[in-house]
Every structure is written in structure tokens, then in C-alpha cells.
Amino acid sequence: MSELKQAKSALISVFSKDGLEPIVKRLDELGVTIYSTGGTEKFIKDLGINVIPVEDITSYPSILGGRVKTLHPKVFGGILNRQENESDVKELEQYEIPQIDIVIVDLYPFEKTVASGASEQDIIEKIDIGGISLIRAAAKNFKDVTCVSSVDDYEEFLNLLNEKNGETSLADRKKFATKAFNISSHYDSAIFNYFNQEREVNSFKQSELQGKELRYGENPHQKGTFYGDFEAMFDKLHGKELSYNNLLDVDAAVNLMNEFKGEAPTFAILKHNNACGLAQRNTIHQAYVDALAGDPVSAFGGILISNVEIDAKTAEEIHKLFCEVVIAPSFSAEALEILKGKKNRILLVLKDIELPKDQVRTCLNGVLVQDKDLKTDAPADLKLATHNKATDEELSDMIFASKICKHTKSNTIVLAKNKQLCASGTGQTSRVDALKQSIEKAHSFNFDLNGAVMASDAFFPFPDCVEIAGNAGITAVIQPGGSIKDQLSIDYCNENNIAMVMTGTRHFKH
């Protein structure tokens, strides 16, 4: 038989009617017999187009409050029959089952209902049974049936109808079948994840419907794709397409700045997922100037992020720097015009949405899943370990430094003073090396470390770090504690007038 098929009948049962009218009208023009039920049937009738109720096929009404409408052999037989199979064709004739060539379905919005905070009863009622069954049946039998499984595919299907006058090729039908199984598997994954919120079933399922192919991956010889709804988080106002590395840096920037949400104007500059500059001031302009001073060399080609609107004065300073991406909750009109002066500079408005609470990464031949590190050290968490008490300014700086430390690659040491990042040692194999790197870097940019504070992502196994820090002028230290040799570090601090607090929380980041 020819792989080209002319549609003669269609079953339509959809939740969303947006964009359905031109499809229905085109099918009617092509002489396609239309079957439908419930609200979709009424919608088609109101268009003045002839539609046959599914009940006329099944001789059975919609029952159980609409829970059972299309689940019937006369419906599924019309979809699943193999038209080249003589036995199937004879059974259709024997049981008076109409052939169905097109199935158009749009499922109940289960995920939107969950996101709305609806009751469990309302959520359960939005688990589509008939629709998902129709999709699977039509997609399975793609050799004979075209399956349109989402409102997002209405336009593409309408174009196909117009281009080929109701005729489809095997490739057309298989493409729509692939889309259909994408929809059905995603839908079932969402339902499973809703039921498995307590992780009683030790199984991992993550599904993203949208994918965007990137120019390349981490390096030019690697392919890269982003799967997710980027537009749900950002409005992209200007610039080139984001790269794989841009996206990783943007992710790091957003998670870091989330620590300072609702606080005084704060500006951060990141490079390779780590902050190279960060400051909190009374104005965002001064916060940017002082963040840049933290490492004006690494800032070149960096990712910039603000926790408040970027104004024209700040934009003028930013415009002097070559940077890949600038992120803010908003930009003034003047600032936007200034920053658009570089055609490739990416400008993103960060929407006020909740960030994911899980982290997922590939590992060996599987995946690792963990709760995101949502613990932010607060004054109430601090346990004074030394006789020397930190001043209010030192306490404030230690909390500030701890937030940065939490988002810096381990092993790390962060040095801060007056709500400004002086330097950090990042991704070192020893804590001593991280500390030495941070001190050397701070001195290279002319920071006076006398009175500065030190934050560590993990405990000190030996007193060498506090000794090196003390010699550099550090007067207060924040660390998790927990080493069997904690007392050695405490003793050194007591003997050298250094205040030390312990949080009890480690913040490794690998």
C-alpha cells in the first residue's frame, strides 16, 4: 500500500480550543468526517460544522461525570486497526466500526493545576485517561493514523493540511507520533513525580518538553543542547544566543544572587561559575564599582548580576567593560539603551520565580540527585568557639563571606571586608593552597586584609590555616567546625586575638 494517505475521518477531543477553529474548518472543507464529544463537540457545533457525537458510534453515553467518554472498542478499534490487514478490515465491517484517520487531542493541564496550588481532588481530576489512551493508540498506529497530541502542534498540523490537502506521508505521521510519545511520557512523568514527592519509590524521572540546540557544548568540538523553559525564568532583551558556558555561568550567578534577594543593593561578577567580585552598598552603582575592584582582570568576559534595577549611572560604568551577560530584575530605559550599545552583549531580566530545589548531574552510567544546599548561615547559627568575640561589623562580614563561600568551588577560602569580596581561593586540592591563593590575590589588587574576615567551606584539620590568616591580618573566622583537632585552631585564635565562630554546616561544592 502507498505510504501516502488521504484523511477521511477525524476524532477531536481537546482541552484547549485555542487555534482549533481553523483546523476544524479546513477539515470540513476537505470533506473529512468529524467525531467528537463533550465540550469539543459543542465547540464544533457552535461553528456551524457537522460533527458526529462519539456516543453515536459507541451507543453509550458519557458516564461517571465525564470520566469515561471515548474508552470503547468502537473508538479504539477505529484507531488501532491495521488497514493492510484483511482480518482487521473484516472486523471493522463486522462490528460496524468507523475508520479513524486523524486523532487530535490536548490533555487536561495536570502540571498547571499542580502549580496553581489546587487541592488534591482537583489535581487528581486533571489526570487525563481517555486523552492519553487516544494519543498512545493513534501514535502506535502511525502507519495509518495521524496523531496531533498538543495545542502546541495545532499550527504545524494546519500547515500540513493546507499544503497537502489532507494527505500525509508516512514520515509526516511518524513525526507526529514521535511528538505524541514525547507528550505522553512527559505527562506520565509529571504525574509520577507528583505522587512521589516523598520519594517513597526510589526511581528518578525528569522530563523537559523544550530543547534548544546550542552553537556547541563546553568546547567547540562538543555538541550541546539546553532542555528547559528558559523564558519562564528570563526575558531576553538583547544580545547573541547564549552558549553552553554562558548558561552554566548564568545558573551560578542566579543561585549566588538569590542569597542576597531583598537585601541592600548587591552586585556580583562571575567567571567560570565562581564570583570574582561582589559588593553590597547603598547604591547599585557603588556596589558595581567595588565588585569590579575585587578582580578587574577576571571580570573581562564575565557574567554580571544585580539584585536591584540597573540605572543609567551604573550602566555607563558597565559599558566600559567587555562582559558576556548582564542580569537584573529590571533595567531603566536609559540603562537599557546604553547597554545595548554592544550588539552581542546579552541582557536578561530575571523573573521572580522559585528556583529548583533539587540538583541533578550525570555520574558514571547514571545520575546523582540531591537536595540543593538551601541552608544559608545566619547569626542564630553561629556558635562562638573562642574567648574573643567578633564585632558587629565582623559578624556581618562573616555572614556575607559565608554566602559567597557556599557558592564557590571547593576547596575554597573567601576573604571579605566591609561587605566586599577581597579575594577567594577556588577549587584547590588543599585548604592551605586555597587560603594562600586568596591572600596573594587580595594583595595583588591592593586590599588591606587587616580587619578582614575569612570563611571556609569546611573545617580546618590543622591550625595552619588560622595561623596563615592571622599573619595576613585576618581578625575573624567563620567555619563549620567538626574536626577532631578543632581545639588546636581554637587555641591559636585565642592566643592571637582572633574571633572564631562555627556554623555546624559544611558547604562543599564540587
510 is annotated as an active-site residue? no
Cα 252–Cα 256–Cα 260 angle in degrees, nearest 5? 155
8, 17, 25, 140: the active-site residue: 140
What's at 206, amino acid-wise? Q
Of 83, 84, 86, 57, the residue nearest 70 (C-alpha): 57
Pairing of strands 358-363, 366-371: antiparallel
What's the rounded Cα separation, in Å, for the pair 243 and 251? 12
- Show the cell assigned to 334: 536609559
272, 319, 375, 443: the active-site residue: 272
User: CA of 161: how far to CAs of 27, 155, 196, in Å?
Assistant: 8, 10, 41
Q: What pLDDT does 1 receive? A: 47
Q: What pLDDT does 93 receive? A: 87
Mean per-residue pLDDT pooled into runs of 10, the chain (510 residues): 83 94 95 92 94 86 74 88 89 89 95 93 92 95 96 95 93 96 96 93 92 94 96 96 96 98 97 97 98 96 98 98 97 98 97 92 95 95 96 97 97 98 96 97 97 97 96 98 96 97 96
What's the rounded Cα separation, in Å, for the pair 287 and 307? 10
Of 307, 316, 264, the residue nearest 289 (C-alpha): 316
Which tens digit of pLDDT belongs to each residue from 343-361? 999 999 999 999 999 999 9
Kind and range of the H or E element at 362? Answer: strand 358-363
- pTM, entire model: 0.89
Q: Which residues lie closer than 8 Å to 495 by C-beta, 6 or more apart?
A: none
Pairing of strands 453-456, 476-479: parallel
How close are the terminal C-alpha atoms of the chain, in Å? 58
SS (H, E, C) 428-459: CCCHHHHHHHHHHHHHHCCCCCCCCEEEECCC
Place of cell 595583588: 444
User: CA of 55: how far to CAs of 95, 149, 299, in Å?
Assistant: 15, 22, 68
DSSP percent split of the chain into helix, strand, coil, nearest 5: 40, 20, 40
221 is annotated as an active-site residue? no
User: CA of 481: how far to CAs of 21, 253, 384, in Å?
Assistant: 66, 27, 11
Annotate 371-382 with DSSP letters as a single string.
E-------GGG-
- Does residue 267 contact residue 303 with C-beta atoms inside 8 Å? no
Which tens digit of pLDDT belongs to each residue from 22-45? 999 999 999 999 999 889 999 999
SS3 297: coil
- Does residue 475 contact residue 394 with C-beta atoms inside 8 Å? yes
